[in-house]
Amino acid sequence: MSFPNHRPRRLRTTPAMRRLTAETRLAPADLILPAFIREGLTEPSPISSMPGVVQHTTESLKRAAAEAVGLGVGGIMLFGVPAVRDAQGTASLDPEGVLNKAIRDVKAEVGDDLVIMGDVCLDEFTDHGHCGVLDSDGYVDNDATLEIYGRMAVAQADAGAHVLGPSGMMDGQIAVIRQALEESGHKNTAVLAYAAKYASAFYGPFREAVDSQLKGDRRTYQMDAANRREAILEVELDLEEGADMVMVKPAMSYLDILADVAAMSPVPVSAYQISGEYAMIEAAAANGWIDRRGAITESVLGIKRAGADTVLTYWASELAGWLKES
């Protein structure tokens, strides 16, 4: 009888052997926790489509940020839900507005021990729910929106954000934000460009998380799920415009895009495991259909294996806790 020349199973024999030969490792420092704060709340408010995730009060957000620091989590990405919205998203510019204040509060709590990121986008602040302002035909007006993004970026940098995350997919947004930051003296505030952000059905639960007013969809600005090489163009443009890091979003249905971007990007690559990805795994686990911890760990490992340096995930703190244990 002839024997196999190679027995890949040898490296799978024991947990120690598998650990030694693992090609990809998860670390708390690679994880970024997205968090929501809602103006005027007195108690944290559960988000029904994202079991375990809440809209925070100032106090509970500060606690979540401090907990993330203790667990070694790399960063926190903040989203604000304002009490009052208008067509221009004015509350996004107010230094006392919910998001700018949250950035300041988190900064006061954790200082530089956690990378504090702010969402630079108008959808939480507009009464129509779009990521930009509308022209007279109801079309999202790219260049009028850019002007507001520049001011929003400065407001968040003034509040103490280390990194800004423009997520609106307007053309030229990185250049405008970079220029506004330089002109206002925020030369060390970094930009994490949501470079390849796709129009996705998996954003559903996020819309509940921010009480989105959106009717219709974002297909005139977010990318079409059918497109692969266009992601490279979006990343190249953002790099030319001065992006310090680039992101692919969503993650699990876009691992090919992530691998492409990881292969060409000279800057760190993030992937955002979004609300719908979170909800699917939580729902299946709640039904006893999959092993929750196994599925969460495997899903984030898969995103890293595809090429992400950092992963935004609503499980960041819980996963970091598991990683610390083991």
Would you name the residues annotated as active-site residues? 197, 249
Closest CA to 249 of 265, 235, 267: 235
Does the protein bind ligand PBG through residue 156 (CB under 6 A)?
Answer: no
Q: How many CA atoms lie within 13 A of 118 on its CB side?
A: 34
Could you say whether residue 167 binds ligand PBG (CB under 6 A)? yes
CB of 57 to ligand PBG, least distance (A): 20
∠ Cα 112 267 249 (to 5°): 85
Q: What letter represents residue 215's amino acid?
A: K
Asked if 223 is part of the footprint of ligand PBG (rule: CB under 6 A), the reply reads no
Residue pair 92/99 in contact by the 8 Å Cβ criterion: yes
Nearer to ligand PBG, 170 or 306 (CB): 170
**Among residues 110 and 131, whose Cβ is nearest to ligand PBG?**
131
State the binding string over 171-210 for ligand PBG (x if CB under 6 A, else -). Answer: --------------------------------x--x----
Letter string b/e over residues 7-37, b meaning 16 or more CB atoms within 10 A of that residue's CB: eeeeeeeeeeeeeeeeeeebebebbbbbbbb
Pick between residue 28 and residue 132 the one whose CB is nearest to ligand PBG.
132
Which one of the spans 5-13, 116-124, 291-299, 315-323 is the region binding ligand PBG (CB under 6 A)? 116-124
DSSP alpha helix (H) spans, 33-86: 58-71
Q: Shortest distance, CB of residue 27 to ligand PBG, whole angstroms?
A: 22
Which position among 275, 299, 310, 317 is part of the footprint of ligand PBG (CB under 6 A)?
Answer: 275
Tokens at 81, concatenated: 């839900």
Site size toward ligand PBG (CB under 6 A) is: 10
Q: Least Å distance between CB 73 and ligand PBG?
A: 17
Element (H, E) at 255: helix 255-264
The stretch among 115-123, 152-160, 229-237, 296-304 that binds ligand PBG (CB under 6 A) is 115-123
Rule CB under 6 A: say whether 310 interacts with ligand PBG: no
Asked if 30 touches ligand PBG (CB under 6 A), the answer is no
Q: Which is nearer to ligand PBG, 186 or 218 (CB)?
A: 218
Question: Using the rule CB under 6 A, is 121 a contact of ligand PBG?
Answer: yes
> Which of these, 140, 143, 162, 144, lies nearest to 153 by C-alpha position?
162
Label residues 199-232 b or e (16+ Cβ within 10 Å = b): ebebbbbbbebbebeeeeebeebbbeeeeeeebb
> Distance between CA atoms of 303 and 305, rounded to whole angstroms?
5
Position 123 contacts ligand PBG (CB under 6 A): yes
| DSSP assignments along 258-271, one per residue | HHHHHHH-SS-EEE
Q: Does 142 bind ligand PBG (CB under 6 A)?
A: no
Binding site for ligand PBG (CB under 6 A): 119, 121, 123, 131, 167, 203, 206, 218, 274-275
